[in-house]
Structures are given as structure tokens and as C-alpha cells.
Chains A and B, each alone.
Chain A
Amino acid sequence: MSSLRLNTARLSTARLATLTLALLGAAASAQTTPNTALKGTISVWAWKDPIAGLKSLDAAFAKAYPNIKVEYVQKDPGGGAIYNAYKLAFSAGSGGPDVALIEDSHLQQLVKLGTLADLTSQVKPYVVNLTPAKLNTATLNGKYYAMPWDIGPVVLYYRRDLFKQAGVNPASLRTWDDYLKAAMVIKAKTGADMLPLSKAKNDGRLLETLLWQQGSGYVNAAGAVTLDKDPRATKALDLIQSLYKSGASADIETWTDSYYKVIADGKVATLPMAAWMGGFLKGWIAPKTEGQWGVLPLPAFAGSVSRTSNDGGSQLAVWNSSKNKDAAWAYIQFHIAQKDSALALYEKTDFFPALTSLYKDPAFSQGDAFFGGQKISQTYTALAKTIPAATVYTTDYTDMNSMLSIEIQKMALGKQDAAAALKNAADVIRSRTRRN
């Protein structure tokens, strides 16, 4: 569901080798002096692609912490398998990990349950370099329970060739109204749809993105459901309704073969999605479309300046009943809180790091041939700092998302209007999650 779930590693071997060598050299000069006295075996639970990334730093980690042995346990987040494993280990009181990788969308639930160790003092030095939006998902009663790894600043990926063919200047897409107008022009001139947007299989992710862009979510800061009371929610769903009615959206379910095909074949002109999508496009969805893609800030809602949102992201946490908490934190700190290894992980995995202090590195100002030489990391970093704070990820995220999706589907199939969809979603979420 998030950046990490569908990712695959993609980087030229030569580049990776150079990086690893550089890293081995750099390990000695790491910002934090490793406490080599730490010892024990730690178990790291994560899924395929992050494990591949983390493993690429094995040699460097072993050099810094020779007495810590690391075991990786691969579990899939698809269908919630890894989260069920976490919950079962917690209920059983044993058999859990030492280091747990958790998507932001599922983090609050695990924090609230008490499965994770308090990392307040460990995370505190990095707080100045993290956005409040990101920190909130790992916070309970003023304490931090995880170290942010990646975030998903949302941008607008667009096809340079289709925009050119239609004579639309990408820079003119400042607002969502501009976007709708451009959609009609592009559809008329090229036949391509503006974006994939499923009706009967809508997964609610675009609406969440549009809510978050405006600093809104499922609930407000006090935890009360706001979907049917917040005019920003109405704006967001009205926009989706307009996209359906424009006839310029492709009714295709996300993360299916048809979805990959329309993207690879240039049948959709834009994708309003998080930074991790750039890595997917390049790596496995449309590797043959090099040079055809560009990146724009998200169009703004009328009367708002926000040009980005967030979708996905993940964090590493220490399991509360771990017997090697210090070694577990040392592992987390080494991999994602230190410049050298964090940069190497970004190169290896394309998970856009949450730590803003990394963005000054020259690696973030390089042009990317896949995006026509555009310096996309600069766009990401500029936007990452401006992600609005909003509560999309709650303890009941999975349920809220599926309840909202059902109501969007009903609206898309013409069974209700946007106002009714929001009202019904808010009502059912209130009763199921016992909120106000």
C-alpha cells in the first residue's frame, strides 16, 4: 500500500559497488561512534525490498558493530500479513522481532497497543530534521515510538510527450481547475486519459491524498471524524467527481496489470502520486519510457497554497519486549539516521528519506535521465518540507480506508452524490470506530 510495498531495487551494479566501497570507507568516520561493546542477535522483520536495501549495508554494519548479529525475517505487508504477525507476537507475549518495519498507515495502531519501545530520547536529536506530519504518526502522549525512514511527498508525474502533443504547457497547471481544463484538451488532442481513477475498485488513496494536501484527514487533532463537516473534504471529493464526469479519467484498478499497461503505453498523461512512484516507473512499471516523464508540484486547490501531500512512508521501531533494545536501536540508528548509510539506502531502494538534513547532499541535486534530466530530488525535497500536518493515519486506518472506499465506489457508480458519500462514510466510521 505504501512506498515500500511495491518497490524493487533498481540501481546499476557499478554505481552500487562504488557506493558500497565509499560506505565501507566512511563507516569509520560515522557521525556516531559505534558502541562496539553491544552484542547479541537481533531479529529484523520487514518485507522484500527494504530487506534487500538493509542487507546491502550488512558488511558496513558488521564492521561498526562486530558483536551484533542480524537476522532478517521476511513478511509481506500485502493483506496485512506482517501486521497480523506483529499483533500475534504481541498477544502471545513472545516471538516478536527486535527491530520492526512498519508503514505509517499501521503505526498508530501498534503504538497504541503498546507493542513498541519508547524511543523518545533516542529520536529527539533528529526531531529538528523531521516534519511534524511524519513525527505525529509515531507519537503517543508526547513520546516517540519509531524512527522515520521514508516519506511520500506527493507530486504530479506527467508525460512530456503527451503534453507537447496537446500543446499544454505543464507549468500552467497551477490549480486543480487548470488540471481539469488540461485534461479536456489532452483527451481531445491525444485521446489519452488524464489519470487512472477506478470507479468500482476505487481504493480511496486519491481522496486521502487530496484531503492531506489541504491539511485535512479522516479525523481532526482531537480524534473526531470530520469527513462530513470539513469543507476541505467536500472540495476533495468534488474534484474526484469532476474527474469522473470529465470523461478524461481511465476506469482502471490500481496495482493491476491493466494499470501498469496504460501507464507504460502512454494512455494516461499524469499520476498524482508520492515520490516512491518515480522509482516504480523507472524500475519496473515503465522502464522503457525514459525521458518521457516530468515532475510537477501538485496543483493547488483554489484559495490554498499547498502544492503537495503525503501518501505512505514507513518507520523502524524497537519491539517493546525485545531483550536487545540497545542493539536494536544501534541497528536503526546506523541504517537510517546516519548520513552515509541513509544515502546509500536511498540509492539502493528509492525510498525517499524523511530526514531533511540529508537533502543538502549533492546526491539530491543531480539530474535524472529517466525524467528528461530534471532534478527531481530537488522538487521532492522542496515539497517534503511543506507537507501539511493531517490525521489520515489513525489506529483504525485500515477500516476507515475500506469504509470510505465503499462510499466513493457508490458515488462513482452513480448511486449517490459526493455529500451523501461523505456523510455515509463519516457515519459508518463513527459507529465502527466509536468516535465522535
Chain B
Amino acid sequence: MSRPLDLPAFARPARPARRRKHLWPMLFIAPFFVLFLVFGVYPVIFSAVLSFQEWNGAPGQQVWVGWQNYASLFQDRYFWSSMTNSVLIFLLHFPVMTLGGLVLAVILNENRLRFQGLWRAMIFLPHLTSMVAAGITFRLLFERDSGLVNRMLGGVGIPAVPWLDNEWWARVAVGILLVWAWTGYQMVIFLSALQTIPGEVNEAALIDGAGRVQVFWKITVPLMRPAIVFVTTLSVIGTFALYTEPVILTGGGPIHATTTPTMEIYAQAFNNIRYGYGAALSYVYFAIVVAATLLQLRLTNRGQG
């Protein structure tokens, strides 16, 4: 980089004019950057500092505690179990959701299908629904004694499932809500990816004697790898950041089984007014999610090579 003094002499008079020229565009993009600085950058820096402090919210009463928050969070079994919960919820719902989204996308990509637009809209619709409303509805559906799901199971002779009264079933219930809400979104991503695959590739494979299922696994899936990597990354981040769904559906229970890291961070920071500790948890949580994402990208890229 050159210092201003090194600028050619003729460049100097031009500067005020250029500044004026850029004034309006700058003003127009300013709102985003101002908001981003205030609500994005500032909190990130503030919590970084906060994570080395103990603070109960009293103005100006922050106490510097060094690495103490980070040291004690390694002993915090409920923080780590909330991490495990997220991993389990991810494993329970992601394969179903992604495969479902993929299969639906392939079916709905078929031009012979009638009412294509209607089906796409219907499957995408849950994604636009308020998660609070959906959570309350699912809680009623999964109710043990009078919920519709158990009544329907009872109708075909299957005993009542303790959906929200058992750690594993509760995680499954959260997973089902996620599948319901996100499959449509995945389908849309996959649909757009599918449309980039030239039809001739499939035709060629079919002519060469491949079956539909073979075409799906051997042609479609590998060609959609970038889209799959994209939704996987989003899902990993999304599952760790899960908040509304478990809060409404299960309240984080039973036995803490559906409490996610964000719920745990919220409880520590705002219920227990340990803002510094909450900030430290946030940073560790953030580091883990970043690490998981990088690892995942590394693995998928290697597979491609």
C-alpha cells in the first residue's frame, strides 16, 4: 500500500470530486452497515470482552476474571449435554429430511407430473409457518393421552407412544417437527440444483439400461453434491442454533434431553444473570460450530477430489 504522499500530484485534486460522486451510493448502502455495526459487530466484540468478565447486569460493575468462565464451562455437564442433544437431534432428523427433500425434488422435477406448482407450494408452505404456532400445534398432536398421533396409532392397534415423556421420543418429536418445517426448503434447493443437470445425462443412462433408482443414486445424487453440501452445512448450523422449536414443543425436557446450546446459553445469561459466563459459552459454542462446519467442508471436498 502506498501512503497518500506517494500519490501522483494529479490525483489529489480529483479526490473531493470523487468523494462527492460516491456520497449518494454510500448513503444508500449506509443503513445496512450502520445496523450491522451496531447489532452485528459491536455485540460480537462486546461479548468477547464480556466472556472474560463476571457481570450481573449492574451498569459498570463488570469484574475481570480472566479465563475463569472458560475454565468452569468445561466442568458444566449441562452445557455439554446440550451439545450432545443437538448432535442427536441432527442425526435423528437430517437423513430423513435430506433424502425426503431429494426424492420429492426428483419427483416434482418430472414434467409429466400434473399440478407441479401446487405440489411444490404445498410442500414448501410449512417452512413459511410461524414456528411458535407450529410448535404449539405439534405439542397438541403429540400429546400422550389425547393427541391425534397417538389416537391414530391406537386406531391401527399400535400402543400409545410417550412422545414428549421420554428422552428419545422427545428428540424424535423435535426431529419430526424439523422434518416437517424444513423438507420443503431442502426440496426447493434441490429442485434448483436439479434444473442445472442436463436432461441428456439421464437419458443416456436410461438408454444404456440403468433403472430409475440407479439413475437417482449414480447420476442425480453425485451431480447434486454442491447442493447437498450446502444444505448439510446449513442444517448442522441450524440444529445447533435450534431454539424456538424445543422451547415450545418440549420446554427442553424431559430430563434436559431436548435442551439445545442456545437454550442453555439463554438460561445462564438471562435467567441466572451470568452474562459473562453466557458470553463464554457462546464463544465456545461458536468455535465448535465453526470447527464442525470446516471439518464437514474438508471431508466433502476430499470426497469429491
Binding site for B on A (CB under 8 A): 80, 84, 87, 90-93, 109, 113-114, 199-201, 251, 256-258, 396, 398-399, 402, 405-406, 409-410, 413, 415, 428, 431-433
Contacts and interface: CB of A to CB of B under 8 A. Distances in A.
A402 B58 CA distance: 25
Interface in B247-304: 251, 253-256, 267, 270-273
A343 B95 CA distance: 62
B273 A113 contact: yes
A200 B58 contact: no
B192 interface: no
B4 interface: no
Given A258-B145, A406-B255, A409-B253, A84 B56 contact: no
Interface string B137-162: 00010010110000000000000001
B146 A200 contact: no
27 contacts: A90-B57, A91-B57, A91-B59, A109-B273, A113-B56, A113-B58, A200-B166, A201-B165, A201-B251, A201-B253, A201-B254, A256-B143, A257-B146, A258-B146, A398-B267, A398-B272, A399-B272, A402-B267, A406-B255, A409-B253, A409-B254, A413-B166, A413-B254, A428-B78, A431-B76, A432-B76, A433-B272
A12 to B, nearest CB: 33
B254 to A, nearest CB: 4
A208 to B, nearest CB: 17
A410 B145 CA distance: 21
B75 interface: yes
A87 B58 CA distance: 9
Contacts, number: 69
B164 interface: yes
B45 to A, nearest CB: 17
A413 B255 contact: yes
Nearest to B139: A256
B184 to A, nearest CB: 29
A331 B268 CA distance: 35
Given A87-B57, A199-B165, A80 B270 contact: yes
B162 A200 contact: yes
A216 B7 CA distance: 79
A409 B140 CA distance: 21
Given A91-B57, A113-B57, A113-B58, A200 B271 contact: no
A396 B162 contact: no
Contacts of B76: 431-432
Nearest to A87: B57
A200 B164 contact: yes
A398 B75 CA distance: 21
Nearest to B252: A402
Given A87-B270, A113-B273, A428-B78, A406 B57 contact: no
Nearest to A79: B247
Nearest to A88: B57
Contacts of A251: 165
Given A200-B164, A398-B271, A399-B272, A258 B143 contact: yes
B203 to A, nearest CB: 54
Closest CB pairs A-B (n = 4): A200-B254, A200-B165, A91-B57, A398-B271
Contacts of A256: 143
Contacts of B165: 199-201, 251
Contacts of A433: 272
B271 A399 contact: yes
Nearest to B256: A406
A413 B164 CA distance: 13
A420 B148 CA distance: 37
A114 B59 CA distance: 11
B58 A399 contact: no
A231 B288 CA distance: 43
A136 to B, nearest CB: 21
Given A399-B272, A432-B272, A200 B59 contact: no
- Give the residue among A114, A201, A433 with the most B Cβ atoms within 10 A: A201
Contacts of B271: 80, 398-399
B262 to A, nearest CB: 15
Interface string B199-211: 0000000000000
A114 B58 contact: yes
Contacts of A258: 143, 145-146
Contacts of A92: 59
Contacts of A87: 57, 270, 273
Contacts of A409: 253-255
Contacts of B145: 258
Contacts of A431: 75-76
A415 B255 CA distance: 10
Contact of A410 (B77, B255, B270): B255
Contacts of B57: 87, 90-91, 113
A410 B140 CA distance: 24
